[in-house]
Structure 1
Amino acid sequence: MIIERAYVHVASCDERAWPWSVPCVRALLSDGLRFTAPVTFLVGENGSGKSTLVEGLAEGFGLDSWGGSHDWRYAGPRPKSVLGERVRFDAAPRGRRMLSSWSARKGFFLRAETALDALNREGFDADSVSHGEGFLAAFREKFFQPGLYVMDEPEAALSFSSCLELLGHIHQLVKNGGQVICATHSPLLTALPGADIVEVGEHGMRRVDWDELALVDHWRRYLAAPQAYLRHILD
């Protein structure tokens, strides 16, 4: 583990204004988010705030909000977001040196919109492979040493088999001492044994078991009887 808890350091704020109006951000503000496993999945509907949350966590750790590794910037120096500027961490024993020393800090922020461009700018020829292969290349090339790795919907470009390969990379990364925080809609990824799952929504944040996730229930029902869903859309 690199970090044990994330929280927001702010003297005062208007909870009616963004990002403090987002329920999961308010929960981070009031209670913080404790990390209990090397892999944490954040799940929730579109608009629930999970991407805002992972971006703020990445920025708080010193990663560029547009994606890339700790020692690289997407477009030169850029001010952090309102949330990223105020995120703080309680370090685990392994992560104390990283948080106290900029040169010792290691990590990567992978976001779907800019992943391939980030790889190109860091020296990998992502244009020579497919979109999905480029995502997997990010793991082979950049996700291998102890550090904090933040991901925003990495399954977006991946097939079923590629998602399974991604799980294998995450498992090896954790064995090497890495920590992963991932926003996702994937029931496949969230099934990783030992992972902590945090569901975000109007309630804020709460921990759930994999088989209690709404997205798992919907996929089960849809695959068992697609017409039960499609008739409401197509009729």
Structure 2
Amino acid sequence: MLVRRAYIPESRRPGAFDAWPYTVPCVAELVERGLTFTAPVTMLVGENGSGKSTLVEAIAEGFDLDAHGGRAGRKYANDRPKTPLGEVIALETTPAGGRMRSGPRLRKKGFFLRAETAFGLMNAVNGGYGYWQDDTSTMSHGEGFLTVFDAMFRDRGFYVLDEPEAALSFDSCLRLVALLHELGRTGAQVVCATHSPILAAAPGADIVEVGDHGSRRVAWEDLDVVDHWRRYLTDPSLYLRHITG
């Protein structure tokens, strides 16, 4: 592993908690207690608006990855203004993580894939040095994502993903699970925000559910999203009758 904990140093703590993002329960909890990473693969699972994307963006920035997406060590990656949480977050690293962060730019390994900006990023860097050579503009969105994963998620590095399932089919999600599991086995570290019960089931993943309660570690079978999908697939009418009248 490369990162043990994300936290807000005392000197950077906000003076008040009545403005976004500190009004989001999981962010307020990060300020108070930090977020500890206990496994090579961490899944942040929660509803829209729960704060999981806010967390992963800031965690990516804490490792000097661009919050808009891209690979570690990219020149000018730190020239963009950071997110409010990214401005104050700090990461407690392992010795290996510390050496990677403080070492030469080209030796930094990792990638931040953000579903919202991934398509534009793929078109912008397609065929560039240090990226992939296949032309993702001729592929479906999902095929493009898989091309990025295969090309960029290889080395022992720090990989952050924000809802990567957005473009993926069931089978493609399974391929991503296999890749993330293999990364974790080889010494890399993955932090992924997701709605997908498929991705959350990655073997050995530490699952953190975020919501109105803040954040809590749960078993896969106890996730709210797993319970909802199980009920829906058993009998869709249990849900549809409430929205179709």
Q: TM-score w.r.t. structure 1 length?
A: 0.95
User: Counterpart of 1:40?
Assistant: 42
Distance of 1:28 and 1:82 partners within structure 2: 14
Going from structure 1 to structure 2, the CA distance change for 1:79 and 1:154 (only over 3 Å counts) comes to: same
User: Counterpart of 1:6?
Assistant: 6
- Corresponding residue SS for 1:109: strand
- Corresponding residue SS for 1:188: helix
**Does 1:105 find its partner at 2:108?**
yes
> What pairs up with 1:1-235 in 2 under 5 angstroms?
1-9=1-9, 10-72=12-74, 77-101=79-103, 103=105, 104-122=107-125, 123=127, 124=132, 125-235=135-245
Retained in 1: the 8 A contact 2:13–2:31? Answer: no
- Corresponding residue SS for 1:114: helix
Going from structure 1 to structure 2, the CA distance change for 1:199 and 1:154 (only over 3 Å counts) comes to: same
- Give deviations 1:64-99, integer Å, cap 9, x for gaps: 111001223698821211211111111123212013
Residue 119 of structure 1 deviates from its aligned partner by 2.6
- Give deviations 1:107-166, integer Å, cap 9, x for gaps: 111011121322333324210211001111111111100111000000010000010111
For 2:32, the aligned partner's letter is S
Distance of 1:83 and 1:92 partners within structure 2: 22
Count of aligned residue pairs for this structure pair: 235
Going from structure 1 to structure 2, the CA distance change for 1:30 and 1:102 (only over 3 Å counts) comes to: farther
Distance of 1:78 and 1:27 partners within structure 2: 27
Gaps of at least 5 residues in structure 2 are: none
- Corresponding residue SS for 2:116: coil
Retained in 2: the 8 A contact 1:145–1:178? Answer: yes
Going from structure 1 to structure 2, the CA distance change for 1:11 and 1:228 (only over 3 Å counts) comes to: closer
Residue 195 of structure 1 deviates from its aligned partner by 0.3
For 1:17, the aligned partner's letter is A
Retained in 2: the 8 A contact 1:67–1:74? Answer: no
Larger CA deviation: 121-130 vs 204-213: 121-130
Going from structure 1 to structure 2, the CA distance change for 1:5 and 1:163 (only over 3 Å counts) comes to: same
Q: TM-score w.r.t. structure 2 length?
A: 0.91
Distance of 1:170 and 1:226 partners within structure 2: 31
Going from structure 1 to structure 2, the CA distance change for 1:126 and 1:76 (only over 3 Å counts) comes to: farther
For 1:105, the aligned partner's letter is K
- Corresponding residue SS for 1:84: helix
Retained in 2: the 8 A contact 1:144–1:176? Answer: no
Residue 230 of structure 1 deviates from its aligned partner by 0.6
Retained in 2: the 8 A contact 1:64–1:73? Answer: no
Larger CA deviation: 124-133 vs 65-74: 65-74
Gaps of at least 5 residues in structure 1 are: none
CA RMSD of aligned residues (A): 1.6
- Corresponding residue SS for 1:85: helix
Q: Give identity over the alignment, percent.
A: 58
